[in-house]
Amino acid sequence: MSAAEDRLAELGLAVPEVAKPVAVYVPAVASGDHVFTSGQLPMKNGELMLTGKVGGEVSPEEAKACAEQCALNAIAAVKSIVGDLDNVAQVVKVVVFVASTPDFTGQPQVANGASELFGKVFGDAGVHARSAVGVPVLPLDSPVEVEIVVRTAS
């Protein structure tokens, strides 16, 4: 097991199976020394953790937990390409989409669920640029979706 997976285990987490795509795409693609993931939903055991809008049916705290699950699923997608998570040299960019009510402005705090996990798992290599974007709706009525770009070790 990689050091990154050891850190996940210390958090009581494990790399899940790669989430099955909900349409025609693949979970991740390598290009040079970068891996790009498709948007990852908060799928856990094959089901969405929650549905609805943040600021409506979904609380900010629940959405933050969904963002963490999305990040865990993104890690699984990356692992499917790189094999060993210790091959991740840097989490370069994280984009978090938050399906929220028009008056909700806490997207950055929701996105912290993903960012904090990347920091705990990858340490300094988990420090990244990020966008947190409020949107009216996401696939399957998911409250959160996360996509990442990582740079792999040469």
Pick the range with the lowest mean pLDDT from 17-26, 45-54, 77-86. Answer: 17-26
pLDDT at 50: 97
Is the pLDDT assigned to residue 154 strictly greater than 70? no
Rounded to an integer, the average pLDDT of 66-79 is 98
pLDDT at 88: 97
pLDDT tens for each residue of 91-109: 999 999 999 999 999 999 9
pLDDT tens for each residue of 8-44: 999 999 999 998 888 899 999 999 999 999 999 999 9
Is the pLDDT assigned to residue 1 strictly greater than 80? no
pLDDT tens for each residue of 109-149: 999 999 999 999 999 999 999 999 999 999 999 999 999 99
pLDDT at 20: 84
**Which string of DSSP letters, residue by residue, matches the chain?**
--HHHHHHHHTT----PPPPPSSSS-SEEEETTEEEEPPB--EETTEES--S-BTTTB-HHHHHHHHHHHHHHHHHHHHHHHSSGGGEEEEEEEEEEEEB-TT---HHHHHHHHHHHHHHHHGGGG--EEEEEEES--GGG-SEEEEEEEEEP-
pLDDT at 22: 82
